[in-house]
Chain A
Amino acid sequence: MAEYQIRRCDRHLTGGIHPETHKQLSTAEPCVFVETPTRLLFPIHFSGGGPGEALVRVGDPVAKGTPIIRCQSGIVHVASRAGTVLEVTDHAMAHPSSERSACIVIEPDGLDRQDYLSPMNWPFDAETLRERAIEAGILGLGGAGFPSFKKWSNRTQTLIINAAECEPYLTADDTLIRIDTHSMIRGACLLSRTLDIQTIVIGIEDNKPEALEAIECALKESRSDCFFDIVLLDTKYPSGSARQLVWLTLGIEVPTGSRSVEAGVIVHNPGTLAALSRAIDGKPITDRIVTLTGESFTRPKNVIAPIGTPISHLIAATDTNPQSLHSVIIGGPMMGYRVTDFSAGITKTTNCLLAREVEVQPESPCIRCGACATACPVRLQPQQMVAALKGDALNRAIHEGLGDCIECAACNAVCPSNIPLAEWFRRGRFEMKERAREHQQASDARDRFEARNTRLERLAQEQEAKRAARKAKSADALNKARKAREEIS
């Protein structure tokens, strides 16, 4: 039995909100597998891990697990079912940009051909695990999609399993913990043994008693020698945000501008760790749990779907007619984004499809009520930042702390004037990064210009020196010749 303790978190999040969680909507029915769809779509550049290149061409046969995309970061995306590559074409995607971009379209043939990696035997070192995480395409399955191997280093001291799932409606992590606890624990243990981590913290909100029970059972059966510190958090949005979670569970406040990995803490989604466990056995990520929820779905539930399944197929799995919906939200009501083209395929980071009709309220002028500042978990002043952004004063907004905004949209939820604050900050942060990039380019150009000038000056000086030396040499020779002639005559 693994050593563990359960404790109540004694710190409380400043700010944050208590939205209606609506979790029971999708946990009433058991989690099921969906039928294999007739098409699977994989965006080449937007699957997570940076821009990619296709490893297959039209007509190539693929098996379940055949690598089809390799990204700039090294991350590999694989075919989630056996079939044939039908086409590589511009297509709509499950991505907030609502752009069309190159996608690999695979037609599954229903056969069970597999193309897995070889299972890894313990003991293995950090480098081997990192390579396996790259080949199996492990990235943050909680929605951010950050390549997991980049977080691991020998400075890591603590692993936090992010079982908070604070966003309303989402129950994907809750479901995963209930049905696949052993994989999550095994993934966490193997990762900790490899990186020499002594304590594994599990941050879980107190509205998940079934998941907590499942964790306890799994720990009792586990033979791991890691120590598990289970922290029960108050149900509040956004306690699942990485910075907030690190502070609530460990009391460490990660400073502005740095990441939690630099403080020696890594935060992983339960699905990511379960996927890592399967990857060590040789299986790359081919499926994931997706929560299909919302009042507009006939039978909301959690499903296990292959990566690349079209959204329309998932909508049909809830006995809902896709034509009856104008759009669905990918993600939750706070940080999710709307898509209207249901032929787009889900990616590794699609954790939820939310279908509900919400009346769009018109925006009114800011009444300076300050509710947004009270709700901000990062203790910023959204009122000041949005006034600066609307007045085109990006510097002012950055001075107010725009770089620290986690885009949680808690301010949106409380604003009585219905001002789309989070959208302003998202746009402002994008412009801030663009400006920083341009400034860096300009600085580099200036450095190169000055280096070039120095080099040209140095070359000119060397030329001068050579010419002077030559002149001196020839004058010297001339003098010698004259003296010699005088001596003769």
Chain B
Amino acid sequence: MTDLLLIIVSAALVNNFVLVQFLGLCPFMGVSSRIDSALGMSLATTFVLTLSSVVAYLLQTLLLIPLDAMWLRTLAFIVAIAVAVQFTELAIKKTSPLLHSVLGIYLPLITTNCAVLGVALLNTNRAHTLAESAFYGVGAALGFSLVLIVFAGIRERLQLSDIPQPFQGASIALITAGFMALALMGFTGMIRL
């Protein structure tokens, strides 16, 4: 049990996927201008991450390894992720068309989010069990959501602040992201996983 909790903490904070491993930066920059869209995106990514890490593990254990088709791993994972993302998109369109319209192209882009594929592949590399894979996915999603929502909150306040002309827009956003990454450096080396 402690192992599983450690996995979550490691994936969420110590080895945060966005600010420490620098995966999944596209939605991080693209959807974080408002808190409500950031919240929607993080919920969608959480769902996709958890689902796809479990499905990827199952695919690998039940299909790829028996058929000795590990060389098809990347393709198979991408298909699984694409199905999960499409499913999520349909669900979001039904429950909140406003969120669907606000997220726009970034929702299907979760398919190409390297964090999602990264979680699936890292599970393979580290030979996680099913439970460990699921928790790893959850931890990664928690870390992604945390960072995305905090960043969105900061960006909303930045919009109302007096920023010097050369720094306005993307520059101050990237500088802020750099500061956040600096903050997460405080966790370096705490858990080696």
Contacts and interface: CB of A to CB of B under 8 A. Distances in A.
Interface of A: 365, 387-388, 390-391, 393, 396
B161 interface: yes
A215 to B, nearest CB: 49
Contacts of A396: 156, 160
Contacts of B161: 387, 391
B159 interface: yes
B162 interface: yes
B162 A365 contact: yes
Contacts, number: 13
A388 B159 CA distance: 9
A391 B162 CA distance: 9
A369 to B, nearest CB: 16
B162 A393 contact: no
A390 B161 CA distance: 9
A390 to B, nearest CB: 7
A365 B160 CA distance: 13
Nearest to A392: B160
A424 B156 CA distance: 20
Counting from the closest, the 6 A-B pairs by CB-CB distance are A391-B160, A387-B160, A388-B160, A393-B160, A391-B159, A365-B162
B157 interface: yes
Contacts of A365: 162
Interface residues of B, number: 6
Nearest to B162: A365
Nearest to A389: B160
Nearest to B160: A391
Contacts of A393: 159-160
A393 to B, nearest CB: 6
Contacts of B160: 387-388, 390-391, 393, 396
Interface string B110-127: 000000000000000000
A455 to B, nearest CB: 31
Nearest to B159: A391
Contacts of B162: 365
13 contacts: A365-B162, A387-B157, A387-B160, A387-B161, A388-B160, A390-B160, A391-B159, A391-B160, A391-B161, A393-B159, A393-B160, A396-B156, A396-B160
A373 to B, nearest CB: 15
Interface string B153-181: 00011011110000000000000000000
Interface centre among B157, B159, B160, B162 (most CB of A within 10 A): B160
A398 to B, nearest CB: 14
A391 B168 CA distance: 14
Contacts of A387: 157, 160-161
A393 B162 CA distance: 14
Nearest to B161: A387
Interface string B134-164: 0000000000000000000000110111100
Contacts of B157: 387
A393 B160 CA distance: 8
A103 B4 CA distance: 79
A345 B168 CA distance: 52
Nearest to B157: A387
A283 B156 CA distance: 58
Contacts of A388: 160
Nearest to A387: B160
Nearest to A393: B160
A365 B161 CA distance: 10
A396 B161 CA distance: 14
A387 B163 CA distance: 13
Given A365-B162, A390-B160, A391-B159, 7 more contacts: A387-B157, A387-B160, A387-B161, A388-B160, A391-B161, A393-B160, A396-B156
A308 B115 CA distance: 75
B160 to A, nearest CB: 4
Contacts of B159: 391, 393
A399 to B, nearest CB: 11
A405 B14 CA distance: 43
A111 to B, nearest CB: 63
B47 to A, nearest CB: 27
A391 B161 CA distance: 8
A453 B160 CA distance: 44
A372 to B, nearest CB: 16
